[in-house]
Amino acid sequence: MQKIMVFQQNGSGKSKIEGINKFGEKQFLIKTFDIDEPLPPVLDDTSDYLPKIIDADIVLDFLKHQDLSDDLSSLCEKLNIPVIASGKKITTGQAICSPT
């Protein structure tokens, strides 16, 4: 079973998670990492918001804050975990940023 970690803010990945569960034929174990608190416009240090270790085969990024997405991409690159961040322009790491 493939492990997917979904990073989201305020339920932003909910419909995608529902779609994976509905059409994934029980092939995926999905865990979510939720950030639901208000954030400042700029985060110089995201270490209080992102985990140090991620146990997943792939990460889906539905975070709305650019600083979090950039640092998540860098973290996943270090951990050798692919990241999908649809519709984003990630400036660090190696996230796959397909158009929405």
Please report which confidence band the pLDDT of residue 33 belongs to, taking 50, 70 and 90 as the band edges.
very high
CATH fold of 2-84 reads Rossmann fold (3.40.50)
Do residues 6 and 62 touch, judged by C-beta distance below 8 A? Answer: yes
Percent of the chain with pLDDT over 70: 87
> For residue 12, is pLDDT > 70?
yes
Q: Hey, where are the domains in the chain?
A: 2-84
- Enter the tokens of residue 77: 């690159």
Q: Residue 90 has what pLDDT? A: 65
Give the model confidence (pLDDT) of 36-75 as tens digits: 999 999 999 999 999 999 999 999 999 999 999 999 999 9
User: Is the separation of the CB atoms in 73 and 93 below 8 Å?
Assistant: yes
pTM comes to: 0.88
